Structure 1
């Protein structure tokens, strides 16, 4: 299956991830996360496949996250509410978000990329 990489051009971490894929000869489908964030049902599939807590999908260092005061609100929100919120604004999603339908990585850690995407 195609590796979908949700990226943001102005994000340094996204540029590092994109460079890693290029250097390792791994083809990806680039999707602009701000213009075309994944839908709630797609986010649910990625979250379940990732094995991470749903909170790990939030870009906690983002301005929009802080403006909405989500640090104090996430604990009281349902999974559906969190997924709908993430789907409503790509800047709320921690990036890069990469998935091939089975494996998912959130953020960029070279060792994790090597382990997950390097054996292609």
Structure 2
């Protein structure tokens, strides 16, 4: 079973949900702000994704800009970055979809087709 961390008002999340539903792929939804992934879970998701940790930050988000993270992240180690992400779901790029072994971040139809549609 897939787990999708999403934010209900996020257009990209809505597109990802619609796509998976149309393809008959079932998934469990987790509200990324009300139930943000814990630091250890984030670390695991990053490792399984094969992506750099930076790709998990919602760089277009208001909170990211307010905290001036573009500059601050340069001086932070991965542990500090993971703690920061775990502290506020609005800082996390969404949706994050995982089946426990694979992970996608954001929504690109071709990537979803390749990864989640059998």
- TM-score, with length taken from structure 1: 0.97
Q: Does residue 95 of structure 1 match 2:65? A: no
**C-alpha distance in 2, partners of 1:49/1:17?**
20
1:19 maps to 18
**C-alpha distance in 1, partners of 2:71/2:59?**
12
Please give the residue correspondences for 1:40-59 in structure 2 after superposition, counting only pairs within 5 Å: 40-59=39-58
User: Structure 2: any 5+ residue segments left out of the alignment?
Assistant: none
Deviations 1:49-94 (A, max 9, x none): 1110000000000000000000001111011110011011000000
The ranges of structure 1 where at least 4 consecutive aligned residues each deviate by more than 2 angstroms after the TM superposition are none
Question: What SS is found at the alignment partner of 2:104?
Answer: strand
User: Structure 1: any 5+ residue segments left out of the alignment?
Assistant: none
1:86 maps to 85
